[in-house]
Amino acid sequence: MRLKKGTRCTICKSKKLNNKAVVFLPHHRLALCKEHFISWFENRVEKTIKEFKMFSKNDTVLVAVSGGKDSLSLWNALVKLGYNADGLYIDLGIGEYSKDSKILSLDFSKKIGRKLHIVDLKIEIETIPVIKESVNKPACSACGSVKRYYMNKMAKELGYSVIATGHNLDDEVAVLFGNTLGWDIDYLKRQYPVLEEEEGFIKKVKPLCKITEKESALYAVFNNIEYIEYECPFSEGASSIRYKEIWSKLEEQSPGSKLRFYTGFLKKMYPLLNKENSKKDDLKKCIICGEPSFHEICSVCKLKQKIQKVKV
């Protein structure tokens, strides 16, 4: 996003105004001043919500908030756009990282005057560091299952109609790239910015799927949103971080690569993978907790059993 000195804002210029640009978005060929970047961002989020029929002003949206730039920017934009959106923070119990991100999420909820629900993993099951010790899996995979489980359970219990997460274009491209490298068809089949409601699952949406990580960071900074700037200590060495580095290089050499890869998949590949005759996974109810699951016992109840065994 390099900007030549003295460049004027594209939109201001069209309105015969003289404001200098502060950001350059090469893949959109736009140079924007702060004010027009903020409105560009919010318009893009609104367009994505409409394009994928994510939700309307009548819905009650539960934004999964991590304290990071993406989820806080999303929450800010949704409230500004007039949506009925509250937050859900899952306290993962990862030392300072969780303490800091919880404070930032709470402060932000006060600032925008919206409710923040909090789930304490230590009470529900165990903290992520303890779970990590009990299972022979990387922390991120157990953490992902636990987060998805409680997002869904809480949204149902609290009566929200849709869950929105802050996954951005970089996240989606990294996951899509990983799934393509391994040709993980079952995951590819479900990689869409909207997962419709189905037995026991609340509708889940990703309104930032066409916004890059840099754009959401800029939106947070321009709106004086304080967010957690360091990564979760367990994410170190994760393959998604390597893929993001590769894609940053591609994007720099050929702006628009990320968006082309992602939207190309959604338009051309996703429909092929989900043709009517393709087999649907069998959704059951977990025999222990009753939550939806693809197996007899859901992944969170399995985790609980493993932790119990370690404790005995």
Chain contacts with ligand AMP (rule: CB under 6 A): 64-66, 70-71, 88-90, 92, 147, 165-167, 171
Task: Work out what residue 9 binds among Zn ion, ligand AMP, none; the CB cut-off runs from 5 to 8 Å by kind.
Answer: Zn ion
d(CA 246, CA 253): 11
Hey, which bits of the chain come out as E strands? 23-25, 30-32, 60-64, 84-91, 116-120, 162-164, 194-195, 203-205, 284-285, 292-293
Residues in the chain: 312
d(CA 32, CA 25): 8
Over the window 282 to 311, marking each residue x when it contacts Zn ion by CB under 5 A and - when it does not, the resulting string is ----x-xx--------x--x----------
| Phi/psi at 118 (5° precision) | -125, 130
112 forms part of the interface with Zn ion (CB under 5 A): no
- As a whole number of Å, the CA-based R_g of the chain is 20
State the nearest-atom distance from the C-beta of 87 to ligand AMP, in Å: 8
User: Which residue's C-beta sits nearest to ligand AMP?
Assistant: 166
Task: Work out what residue 89 binds among Zn ion, ligand AMP, none; the CB cut-off runs from 5 to 8 Å by kind.
Answer: ligand AMP
36 forms part of the interface with Zn ion (CB under 5 A): yes
22 forms part of the interface with Zn ion (CB under 5 A): no
Q: Which of 7, 19, 180, 239 binds Zn ion (CB under 5 A)?
A: 19
- Cβ contacts of 197 within 8 Å, gap of 6 or more: 203
Which residues of the shown chain bind Zn ion in the complex (CB under 5 A)?
9, 11-12, 19, 33, 36, 286, 288-289, 298, 301
